[in-house]
Amino acid sequence: MKTVRFFAPLLCLLWLGQACSAADIEEEEGVLVLKSANFEQALEQYQHILVEFYAPWCGHCKALAPEYVKAAAKLKSENSEIRLAKVDATEESELAQQFGVRGYPTIKFFRNGDKSSPKEYSAGREADDIINWLKKRTGPAATILADVSAAENLVESNEVAVIGFFKDAESDVAKQFFLAAESIDDIPFGITSNSDIFAKYQLNKDGVALFKKFDEGRNNFDGEITKENLLNFIKSNQLPLVIEFTEQTAPKIFGGEIKTHILLFLPKSVEDYQGKLDNFKKAAEGFKGKILFIFIDSDHSDNQRILEFFGLKKEECPAIRLITLEEEMTKYKPESDELTPENIRDFCHKFLEGKVKPHLMSQEISDDWDKQPVKVLVGKNFEEVAFDENKNVFVEFYAPWCGHCKQLAPIWDKLGETYKDHESIIIAKMDSTANEVEAVKVHSFPTLKFFPAGPARTVVDYNGERTLEGFKKFLESGGKDGGIDEEDLKDLEDVEEEPDVDEEEGATIQKDEL
């Protein structure tokens, strides 16, 4: 008895110490706050943990935050063992470097305390996307549905869900279904052999159905059940016929198989907003799986860069543009500004038939475009100046908001001053956010290209030092010292390194940020 009394205070201290240790990890709205000091502890304490590396100033991180909190709360309500955590990568730079954080947010999934190879999160940025992705990583690719209530719960609790109905769950077609389920991270799959579930959803033979809380509500697969056919079916039906572009939907929009997008820039404050959106939806019905129909609130401040990318101003909206997201992004503009279903359908049909020419933006030619040492080019005079057979033309393609371009500006002005009286060298610049040309595709700012005299229409990419002396040496060598021909440049593109995290934000035009 004395022994028990002797050890009791010690046991109490040990228990309190464990409790304090477990409580050391701070939480904010159900999300663990990790730092270098408690990161190891979190990995040991939780078998499955999703970690967001963020920056407080990052707009994408701010947009993700409420969905991340919502996902954490839902998992907690389900008594899940999965935990969500976050790391301020600007404060915890060693952790960020250790896990290869190169942009924000970066989200990684850790299992069983393993730090050597965390899985990169690759799904959408809505709470359901996060939860579905995590459940796929911690459980079976498809949940076995034993009764009607299990099937109803799967359908009712998710925006999109897929159920495989197989009388023999070990059959070859059921195995193809499982293979498809393993390939899709952001949609929950269920599989059943239960006759009551077959009856509930009106099936009398093997089949697959996609359930969704929008448009027609349900799509039944029709065809040979193979992994590839199922994936095509799901990808064609998982998105709404018309989807709004937001931070949360962007990964679904740009990560999908459909690379032709038609965009309706529609301010939510406009008169007859719903009528215009309904017209857009009517036009969309015939292009499922071919063209993705997207609408964008042109009044929203987050979308102003997108308007700029398409050369649109708020007062010009509502407006429609079409873009293809292949190796090169190409834009198209309808001939008519009337947004009737007939006009939109006609525009889409003509595009698919190859009868619509790309739309290249151009400002008007200024009266004094050639009065300064640095000549001001726009789309409408670019060809005439850059490919003048008697001139060697050195052009900076810039963006007004680009920090690197602002740093280069005084050097470029000095270069123009140096060659203002030269008989065959022209120094020029072009605002590539407002002007586009067929001969040059600009992917980052500033882009510097040299157009040597002669009939060959040669384009030389400048890759030397961005100094006055470097530019002069390049020009005096006829574009040899510091230059690389565009044909040779193509061979090098595959080995280029990604830009560092601290590189100017927005310096590269990303397809998912249009």
SS3 content of the chain, % helix, strand, coil (to 5): 35, 20, 40
Closest CA to 162 of 80, 231, 242: 231
- State the pairing for strand pair 142-144/189-192: parallel
Give the whole-angstrom CA distance, residue 399 versus residue 504.
12
CATH top-level class of 143-236? alpha beta
pLDDT at 123: 83
The fraction of the chain above a pLDDT of 90, given in percent, is: 63
pLDDT at 511: 36
pLDDT in tens, 50-94: 999 999 999 889 999 999 999 999 999 999 999 999 999 999 999
pLDDT exceeds cutoff 80 at 218 = yes
Residue 52: φ, ψ to 5°: -100, 120
pLDDT in tens, 405-425: 999 999 999 999 999 999 999
pLDDT exceeds cutoff 80 at 364 = yes
Mean pLDDT, residues 359-365 taken together: 90
pLDDT at 482: 65
- State the pairing for strand pair 48-54/82-88: parallel
pLDDT at 401: 87
The CATH T-level fold of domain 243-353 is: Glutaredoxin (3.40.30)
pLDDT in tens, 5-22: 444 443 343 333 443 344
pLDDT at 122: 80
The mean-pLDDT minimum among 28-37, 159-168, 247-256 falls in 247-256
Mean pLDDT, residues 286-313 taken together: 89
Element (H, E) at 8: helix 2-23
Quick one: residue 407, left, alpha or beta (phi over 0 = left, psi -120 to 50 = alpha)?
Answer: alpha
Give the whole-angstrom CA distance, residue 295 versus residue 258.
16
Give the whole-angstrom CA distance, residue 474 versus residue 394.
10
pLDDT exceeds cutoff 90 at 211 = yes
And the tokens for 251?
């990964």
pLDDT in tens, 437-496: 988 888 889 999 999 999 999 999 998 899 999 999 999 998 887 655 544 444 333 333
pLDDT at 13: 37
pLDDT at 484: 58
Mean pLDDT, residues 379-404 taken together: 94
DSSP-assigned states of every residue in 17-63: HHHHHHHTS-EETTEEE--TTTHHHHHHH-SEEEEEEE-TT-HHHHH
Closest CA to 86 of 77, 67, 74, 78: 67
The mean-pLDDT minimum among 63-67, 263-267, 272-276, 304-308 falls in 304-308
- Collapsing DSSP to helix, strand or coil, 502 comes out as coil
pLDDT at 483: 54
| pTM, entire model | 0.63
pLDDT exceeds cutoff 80 at 249 = yes
pLDDT exceeds cutoff 80 at 23 = no
For the chain, domain boundaries: 27-138, 143-236, 243-353, 375-489
- Collapsing DSSP to helix, strand or coil, 279 comes out as helix
Confidence of residue 278 (pLDDT cuts 50, 70, 90): very high
- Collapsing DSSP to helix, strand or coil, 101 comes out as coil
Q: Do 243-353 and 375-489 show the same overall fold?
A: yes
How far, in Å, are 110, 120, 349 from residue 94 at the CA level?
17, 18, 53
pLDDT exceeds cutoff 70 at 501 = no
pLDDT at 309: 84
pLDDT in tens, 142-175: 999 999 999 999 999 899 999 999 999 999 999 9
Residue 399: φ, ψ to 5°: -125, 135
Mean pLDDT, residues 296-322 taken together: 89
pLDDT exceeds cutoff 60 at 382 = yes
CATH superfamily assigned to domain 27-138: Glutaredoxin (3.40.30.10)
Q: Please state which architecture CATH assigns to domain 375-489.
A: 3-Layer(aba) Sandwich (3.40)
pLDDT at 182: 87
pLDDT at 15: 36
Say how many C-beta atoms besides its own lie within 10 A of residue 487's C-beta: 9
Mean pLDDT, residues 95-114 taken together: 91
pLDDT at 365: 94
Mean pLDDT, residues 282-308 taken together: 90
pLDDT in tens, 124-136: 888 988 998 898 8
User: Which residues are part of the catalytic machinery?
Assistant: 58, 61, 402, 405
